DNA sequence: TGCCGTGTTAATGTTACTTTAATATTAATA
DNA sequence: TATTAATATTAAAGTAACATTAACACGGCA
């Protein structure tokens, strides 16, 4: 499962919203938009975005007000808040605003740059939980190199097979239903058939041997060490 | 990656700020400006500039006061602090000020000269971290000469190819995503497409041989020793 | 000025991974 | 052992990811 970052975008210009949404989604973000800054806070509470991208100049509430409100919320205050500013607006005003370490992006927006920039900002905040390498029985499962060692023999697995084995081997003996596996390897919003899991299990068994993953009929699969 | 130096500029004249900002940015600096000397210190704490360029004569706090404050901060005291002085101000006053090894620049400013001058000053302070040469398997990667030796055979690589190989070979076996590579070789604020990495990998493989960089589909590339 | 080397992009080709669907096999149980 | 449900197996279709090539832009330099 590739972590899909959620971005909340607020701008009163519907065209800009459209452009941003289109481009970010094409780059694998999960995008929610609003054209009313009064809604930003409620929306943020609801969807818990990984980043808020907010126009500075908006009717009713400006970006600074929204930012302050967000930063006073226990739940939301750790979400990076990025300002969108028109080129001729006062950048210094943004810079002077006590943002913690917030950032700002100037319009007009360069789509290619935007995704990269946001990813960088998110990564700075959300320190990816480092998933540990595993040592289970005769197997060593090494995420750094995407290689599984059976005793000393290196076996290279493609992504899905690797992640599936990683989940199973992470809790040896525990049975995972196909639904569990799909949720954890494919993610909660990807819908593929359950038989797909069977096929991947087949591939893994071919590569690491038949004796390490057992089937519990009517339940699912488990890894045995 | 070319290190992009951050300059913090303080001057009460907005026109001068504009000119300086424009010219420094054109020369590849990352520029933050303020027209309030009372803000300099806070801003510096926030953005950690590589150099502070500060007008001497400013309302509220003059440059000397700001400089003193900065030099008393554990975090900031190693940042070079450069004074901007009007031609008819007392240079001797600046020279007499106990600056450590600070510098000053006289207005009116010659844009072309400015960038060069600042670069020189920064380099004097910021001793570039010395990256070590690598010996990995049959390869020797020599930063001094930008040459890769495969056994004894010297292979000359252009900059980007060299840096890319250097990153990969620096952690043999570890998989680097294209994003990782872009961040580390191109830097966090340069936006080129991911396919660019593929092309460079191609060039490197052509030169050092096909068997040393492996592709992990869906993940990235790794160097094997 | 024109050429060469480097870096980037875009277009196209190719590979191999993923998913599905069809069929076979196995296990439970009556 | 016949029936059924569940899983295994396989091949084929679909797709995503990567490889390759060519074209262009740009700067340095003869």
Distance measured from the CA of protein residue B193 to the C1' of nucleotide D23, in angstroms: 17
The residues, ordered by sequence, that sit 6+ positions from A153 with a Cβ below 8 Å of its Cβ are: none
Of A96, A113, A158, the CB nearest to B191: A113
| Residue among B170, B180, B179, B177 nearest B225 (CA) | B170
* C-alpha neighbours within 13 Å on the C-beta side of residue B145: 10
B155 has pLDDT over 70: yes
Candidates A3, A146, A162: best to mutate against B (most CBs of B within 10 A) is A146
Q: Which nucleotides of D are covered by protein (CB under 7 A)?
A: 6-11, 16-22
Domains of chain A: 6-125 (3.40.50.2300), 134-223 (1.10.10.10)
Look at B191 and A117 and tell me if their CB atoms are within 8 Å.
Answer: yes
CA B38 to centroid of chain Cα atoms: 26
d(CA A77, CA A39): 17
User: pLDDT: is A167 or A5 the higher one?
Assistant: A167
pLDDT of residue A44: 96
Contact between A156 and B39 using a beta-carbon 8 Å cutoff: no
Selection from A21, A29, A219, A2 nearest residue A128 by Cα? A2
- Helix A111-125 vs helix A14-26: crossing angle, to nearest 10: 70
Distance CA B43, CA B54 (A): 13
Per residue in A104-152, pLDDT (tens digit) is 777 777 766 787 788 878 877 776 667 899 999 999 999 999 999 999 8
For chain B, the first-to-last Cα distance in angstroms comes to 24
Q: In whole numbers, what is the pLDDT of chain A averaged over residues?
A: 85
- What count of residues does chain B have? 225
Give the tokens for residue B71. Answer: 């030099």
Please give the structure tokens belonging to residue A42.
């409620």
Neighbours of B130 (CB within 10 A): 7
pLDDT (0 to 100) of residue B101: 41
The predicted model gives B85-108 an average pLDDT of: 62
**Residue B51: enclosing H or E segment and its boundaries?**
strand B51-55
Three-state SS at B57: coil
- pLDDT score of B14: 87
Query: What pLDDT was estimated at residue A129?
Result: 66
Q: Over the stretch B20-33, which tens digit does the pLDDT of each residue have?
A: 887 787 777 888 89
**Cα A7–chain centre separation:** 10
State the average pLDDT for chain B.
84
- Binning pLDDT at 50, 70 and 90, where does residue B129 land? low
Q: How far is the CA of A217 from the C1' of D4 (A)?
A: 14
User: Has residue A32 got a pLDDT over 70?
Assistant: yes
Query: Strand C: which positions are within 7 A of a protein CB?
Result: 5-11, 16-22, 27-28
pLDDT on residue B1:
53
Cβ contact A145–B217 (<8 Å)? no
**pLDDT grade for B147, boundaries at 50, 70 and 90:** very high
In this structure, what are the phi and psi dihedrals at residue A62, rounded to the nearest 5 degrees? -85, 170
Residue pair B26/B19 in contact (Cβ under 8 Å)? The answer is no
* CA gap A49, A71 in Å, rounded: 14
The answer to whether B150 and B134 have CB atoms below 8 angstroms apart is no
Length A194 CA → C30 C1' (Å): 29
Is the CB of B14 less than 7 A from some atom of nucleic acid strand C?
A: no
Measured between beta carbons, the chain A residues lying within 8 angstroms of B179 are: 119
At residue B89, the pLDDT reads: 59
3-state secondary structure string across chain A: CCCCCEEEEECCCHHHHHHHHHHHHHCCCEEEEECCHHHHHHHHHHHCCCEEEEECCCCCCCHHHHHHHHHCCCCCCCCCEEEEECCCCCHHHHHHCCCCCCEEEECCCCHHHHHHHHHHHHHHHCCCCCCCCEEECCEEEECCCCEEEECCEEEECCHHHHHHHHHHHHCCCCEEEHHHHHHHHHCCCCCCCCHHHHHHHHHHHHHHCCCCEEEECCCEEEECC
All residues of chain B having their beta carbon less than 8 Å from the beta carbon of residue A92 are 33-35
Query: For B174, which of A112, A119, A144 is closest by C-beta distance?
Result: A144
Q: Confidence class of residue B46 from pLDDT cuts 50, 70 and 90?
A: confident
User: Pairing between strand B220-223 and B213-216?
Assistant: antiparallel
């Amino acid at each position: 499962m590739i972590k899909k970052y959620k971005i909340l975008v607020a701008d009163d210009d519907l065209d800009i919203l459209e452009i941003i949404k289109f481009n970010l989604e094409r780059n694998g973000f999960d995008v929610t938009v609003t054209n009313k800054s009064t809604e930003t806070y409620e929306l943020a509470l609801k969807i818990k975005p990984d980043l808020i991208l907010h126009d500075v100049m908006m009717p009713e509430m400006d970006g600074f007000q929204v930012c302050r409100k967000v930063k006073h919320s226990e739940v939301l205050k750790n979400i990076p808040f990025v300002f969108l500013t028109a080129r001729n607006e006062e950048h210094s005003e943004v810079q002077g605003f006590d943002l913690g370490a917030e950032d700002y992006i100037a319009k007009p927006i360069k789509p290619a740059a935007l995704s990269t920039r946001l990813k960088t900002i998110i990564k700075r905040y959300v320190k990816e939980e480092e998933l540990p390498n595993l040592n289970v029985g005769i197997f060593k499962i090494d995420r750094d190199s995407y290689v599984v060692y059976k005793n000393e023999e290196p076996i290279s697995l493609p992504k899905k097979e690797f992640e599936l084995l990683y989940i199973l081997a992470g809790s040896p003996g525990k049975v995972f239903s196909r639904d569990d596996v799909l949720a954890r390897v494919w993610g909660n919003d990807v819908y593929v058939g359950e038989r797909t899991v069977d096929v991947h299990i087949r591939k893994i068994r071919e590569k690491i041997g038949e004796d390490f993953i057992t089937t519990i009929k009517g339940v699912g699969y488990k890894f045995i060490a």
